[in-house]
Amino acid sequence: MADPVACSSVVLHGDELGFVDEGTGAPVVFVHGLLGSHRGWAHLVADLAAERRVVAPDLLGHGTSAKPVGDYSLGAHAAILRDLLDHLGIDRVDLVGHSLGGGIVLQFCYLFPERVSRLVLVSSGGLGREVGLALRAATLPGAELVIPLLASTWVRTRAEAVGHRLARAGLRPRADVTEGWRGLVSLADAETRRAFLATSRSVIDPGGQTVTAVPRLSLVAELPTLLVWGARDRIIPLRHGIAAAQSIPGSRVEVFESAGHFPHLDDPDRFTRVLLDFVSRAA
């Protein structure tokens, strides 16, 4: 399938980083989650690029970017994001982070607060211990042996056959299912699999999330902050977002009642309206 938006690349510290850079105006940067890519934000580019500069990188280990052996911590991702902004000549940005990307933009705010104008957290990681069972299982010993079996051609072929039958019956899968399936398929690639395990184990253990921004949320108290969550999120529970909002004075919460972990994909039109309203009000 052709890429829905044009993707550029730059070599930073010896590793190629893919990114989308469209439009003009005040920049807004979108940071995807674990096993995601810039494609998860593609529907927003056309809507925002008429009045904003939209930047959407593929994190190292994801999408079109390199998948090196190395540091996949939140701090490392935040530093690479800073280096990309330097390369693009961008000083201050509005930051939007989904899931793992939420943890990364929170880390970015902690490390480089002078470079952030507004903050949007979408089903964000780093705000509590709970996280979905599948991600916790990926941190267990032996996951390196199990994941290739789950992502094998044999399993994928049979699962796709079931999906085709459901589609013919008129059943449309939720974004949680389609994105989860896309992520699983990507793990058939050994380099992607290695990067996934390194990234997940840097923030998760068998008991849940190991990195939390909660004690430092006061550091973003001066930032206009929007939290967007799906009420049916089974990966990171809504209560994390509610509790975080209570710790960030003046923050705004938007709950998508019918959405799961990907509210920006379950209801893209509403998400775009909410986002545009937020950035215009906070201007």
Active-site pick, 37, 65, 99, 124: 99
Beta carbons within 8 Å of 256's beta carbon, 6+ residues apart: 228, 229, 230, 231, 263, 266, 267, 270, 271
Active-site pick, 21, 58, 176, 233: 233
Query: DSSP alpha helices (H): ranges in 90-234?
Result: 100-111, 133-137, 143-150, 153-168, 175-186, 190-203
Whether 276 and 48 have beta carbons less than 8 Å apart is answered as yes
- Known catalytic membership, residue 261: yes
Amino acid (1-letter code) at residue 108: F
Angstrom distance (rounded) from CA 60 to CA 49: 24
Active-site pick, 62, 98, 261, 264: 261
Angstrom distance (rounded) from CA 235 to CA 243: 16
- Known catalytic membership, residue 218: no
- Known catalytic membership, residue 38: no
Amino acid (1-letter code) at residue 188: A
Residue found under tokens 């975080």? 244
Catalytic residue numbers?
A: 99, 233, 261
